[in-house]
A and B are shown apart, each in its own frame.
Chain A
Amino acid sequence: MSTLGLLISLLILPLLPQQAQETDPPDGTRINSAQVSGIELSRLSPGLQEEIGKLAGTPLNRQHLRELAARIETEQPRLIAAVRVSPDPDAGARVVFVVARMRDQEHGANVNIRYAVEDVEIRGVSEHELDPLLRADLQALIGKPLDPEEADRLETRLKDALPDYDVTRRTVRGGQPGRIRLIFDATRAESARWLRFEPLEANAIFHSDQGWGAMLPITMNSRDVHVTPIIAIDNGDDLIEEYSGFGLRFETRKLGTERLGAFFEWNTFDQTWRDATLATLALDPGLARPYRNRMTVTPLVKFAITRQLSIGGGVSITELDPLSEVDFSDSQMANAAIGSLRFSERSKRRDDQRHDVDAAFTVRAGTNALESDLVYERYLGQADYSYRWANHRVLVSGMAGRIEGNAPLFERFSLGDSRTLRGWNKYDIAPAGGDRVLYGSVEYRYRGLAMFLDSGAVWNRDADRRARFSAGLGFNPGPVFFTLGFPLNTDEFRAVFTMGLRFSSSAVGFQKN
């Protein structure tokens, strides 16, 4: 540690009583040796190094030494240099250029530098995980006045030594007056976790064609466990049904080991159906029937293969109450086995640029083996990529899905909501959804302003596929969003406006199941 204080103390050394008997070598005394202390000699220019090297054997000339010290300061503006001349036993002189870093005004102005460090504590990691040298340097702060500059350097070294942690520093009062404690808090970064929590979006959304709806999960979380009561009010943003009701989700991402997690959700929702949906269903008796309530229990187990890749499996048990006895007299069961593969990569926050990727492939199979009345298979692949640099952000999303068999309506795909095909209304595109979907979106954001291009198609296997495009603008100040989307390949000029509040647990991605 080289500070102004050290410099001053070194310069004062010759004046201390034990040195008082020594006489100051007069100019003309032969210089026996000349050294530079405080920095590597190699940091100085070759010419200056040579001149300092040539001092040995020459007569002492203090004016020349001061000029050399001034040249050191000129070459190293953040350093301060002084000359110390001391007598050698053989009547010669020893010259030392004492070089120290100038204390940064910002750090030097910290009023707490007058207090001595009583203790240095590292929380969140065992000190044994640290390099012994770093540990020793941290402990070396103890007993000395606070040196904010050195504390900053050590904090940086800690961050470098613990790339999977977010490290912060704070200073608190010590146990005795005039003493302080330095605390370094290391918190495990989310990117270093083995498993991610299942994405869940909270929102309150207005869609100019579809009206208001809200999904309100309120997460009570610890690092490993989420307990989430869920309330849905006329939510119609992700499915072709509008639903209201409540549920409870429990999720842990540590079951003995961080590689193993469990998920359980129970919910019960009452449905409201649009006239367009009911009319389409009436015309196609091959589609599953609408229901007035669905109650679902979903237990899942997840396992992390790597920090980026995880697999999951479980079942979804759903009971559907008939909308009318014409459709089906007793309740129907839509029980499915679930298998999923998920990839998630988050770049480090310390980097100025961030790349985040989320991708998932999910299979849901309704089968007689689970006593399901509806037998089907549903495949869905989703991938989202986010690139962030300073205030710029690019989002790219893609989705492809396919359903075989007689799937319940909540499994059917739709496009044209607040996240997909913005500018289109899903009840105009496919009022009863489709069993095929293909979708892609590119969005650029600068600060809160956004522009996007969406394209996609949702259709049934025996029908023609029609690709639709839309473009628009958005404004996203924090969790609030305003979007104006325009359908492109249509003769009708119209706009769809959406606004609301959205909190997403996923940095990227839409939340369709």
Chain B
Amino acid sequence: MDRILDTNLPPAARGSLGGAALVALTLMTYTTVEILAQSVTITRAGNAITVRAPGFGFIKGEPLARLKDGRSVRVDLELDVLPGPGGAVAAQGRQTYVLSYDLWEERFAVTQVGAPSRSAAYLTPAAAEAWCLEQLTVPVSALGRLGRELPFWIRLDSRVLAADTAPAQDGGADFSLRGLIDALSRRRKNDALTHSIEAGPFRLSQ
């Protein structure tokens, strides 16, 4: 297994105007894009690449509360390979998982939906998230010239489907402590439902 590290190109997060505009735009559309290039690494295993992103968490907020209530939560993960920041998708990998929380073991279990069906249990939240990412691959052959001759970027999206999430309201709430907490945490709920990071540039080592 080859380990591929960032090239010496500067990460996108370092304060470009484009990055700031992207953050502002995505804040306005209730989608969080975090630039966490420093914490994202790409690993090559045979003809596939996988991503490690310890800062990319989706077991939090409303989905976590649902899990702690003994219910299952469905998570869609998508790994896009891009020729540049915010560019068109050159290659893509997708997986769907079902998470649950063992009420007695106090650990998480994950099942990959579809074929091949895989599962893992007795995991901490971080380990469950990492396991999901490990199953998410993109074939190296799908990258074409990217990686060898040209640098590439990756975008990682998570979408958590919690069916009983209350619809967001635009306004009405008591100004009680509970109302204030609800209002301020409403944004966090949305963050947890759709989460995205973009990182790069990367190159495949020979």
Closest Cβ of chain A to B74, distance in Å, is 6
Known: A112-B102, A115-B104, A168-B164. A107 touches B72 (CB 8 A): yes
**Which one of A110, A172, A200, A503 contacts B100 once the chains associate, using CB atoms below 8 Å?**
A110
Closest Cβ of chain B to A102, distance in Å, is 13
Known: A109-B119, A173-B104, A180-B103. A218 touches B71 (CB 8 A): no
How far does the alpha carbon of A180 sit from the alpha carbon of B69 in the complex, in Å? 11
Residues of A within 8 A of B (CB): 105-107, 109-112, 115, 146, 148, 168-173, 177-178, 180, 200, 202, 216-221, 349, 393, 445, 447-448, 476-479, 502-507
* B15 in the interface (beta carbon within 8 A): no
A477 / chain B contacts, CB cutoff of 8 Å? 28, 170
B13 / chain A contacts, CB cutoff of 8 Å? none
A178 / chain B contacts, CB cutoff of 8 Å? 104
How far does the alpha carbon of A54 sit from the alpha carbon of B98 in the complex, in Å? 44
How far does the alpha carbon of A177 sit from the alpha carbon of B166 in the complex, in Å? 33
* B5 in the interface (beta carbon within 8 A): no
Q: In the complex, are the beta carbons of A112 and B70 less than 8 A apart?
A: yes
The 7 listed contacts between A and B (C-beta, < 8 Å) are A105-B111, A109-B72, A111-B102, A169-B69, A478-B170, A503-B173, A503-B183
B171 / chain A contacts, CB cutoff of 8 Å? 476, 478-479, 502, 504, 507
**Which one of A109, A112, A221, A476 contacts B174 once the chains associate, using CB atoms below 8 Å?**
A221
Closest Cβ of chain B to A487, distance in Å, is 25
Shortest Cβ distance from B65 into A: residue: A170
Known: A110-B100, A478-B170. A172 touches B183 (CB 8 A): no
Question: Could you list 18 further interchain pairs (A-B, Cβ under 8 angstroms) beyond the known A110-B98, A447-B30, A479-B171?
Answer: A105-B98, A111-B105, A148-B71, A171-B69, A173-B103, A202-B175, A216-B175, A218-B175, A219-B176, A219-B179, A220-B176, A221-B174, A448-B170, A476-B171, A478-B187, A503-B172, A503-B173, A504-B171
Closest Cβ of chain B to A212, distance in Å, is 18
B166 / chain A contacts, CB cutoff of 8 Å? 349
Closest Cβ of chain A to B112, distance in Å, is 9
Q: In the complex, are the beta carbons of A148 and B72 less than 8 A apart?
A: yes
**Which one of B30, B111, B117, B173 contacts A479 once the chains associate, using CB atoms below 8 Å?**
B173
A506 / chain B contacts, CB cutoff of 8 Å? 172
Closest Cβ of chain B to A441, distance in Å, is 15
Interface centre among B166, B170, B173 (most CB of A within 10 A): B170
Shortest Cβ distance from A107 into B: residue: B72
B111 / chain A contacts, CB cutoff of 8 Å? 105, 109
Known: A171-B71, A218-B176, A221-B174. A105 touches B100 (CB 8 A): no
* B121 in the interface (beta carbon within 8 A): yes
* B101 in the interface (beta carbon within 8 A): yes
Known: A219-B179, A503-B183. A105 touches B113 (CB 8 A): yes
How far does the alpha carbon of A168 sit from the alpha carbon of B163 in the complex, in Å? 12
How far does the alpha carbon of A201 sit from the alpha carbon of B113 in the complex, in Å? 47
How far does the alpha carbon of A485 sit from the alpha carbon of B164 in the complex, in Å? 37
Closest Cβ of chain B to A427, distance in Å, is 27
A220 / chain B contacts, CB cutoff of 8 Å? 176
Closest Cβ of chain B to A479, distance in Å, is 5
How far does the alpha carbon of A505 sit from the alpha carbon of B179 in the complex, in Å? 10
- The digit string for B160-172, where 1 denotes a CB below 8 A from any CB of A, is 0000101100111
Q: In the complex, are the beta carbons of B102 and A106 less than 8 A apart?
A: no
How far does the alpha carbon of A97 sit from the alpha carbon of B179 in the complex, in Å? 55
* B186 in the interface (beta carbon within 8 A): yes
Interface centre among B100, B109, B172 (most CB of A within 10 A): B172
B174 / chain A contacts, CB cutoff of 8 Å? 219, 221, 503, 505
How far does the alpha carbon of A217 sit from the alpha carbon of B179 in the complex, in Å? 12
Shortest Cβ distance from A354 into B: residue: B167
B167 / chain A contacts, CB cutoff of 8 Å? 349
Closest Cβ of chain B to A461, distance in Å, is 35
How far does the alpha carbon of A507 sit from the alpha carbon of B167 in the complex, in Å? 14
B102 / chain A contacts, CB cutoff of 8 Å? 111-112
- The digit string for B172-206, where 1 denotes a CB below 8 A from any CB of A, is 11111111100100110000000000000000000
B176 / chain A contacts, CB cutoff of 8 Å? 218-221
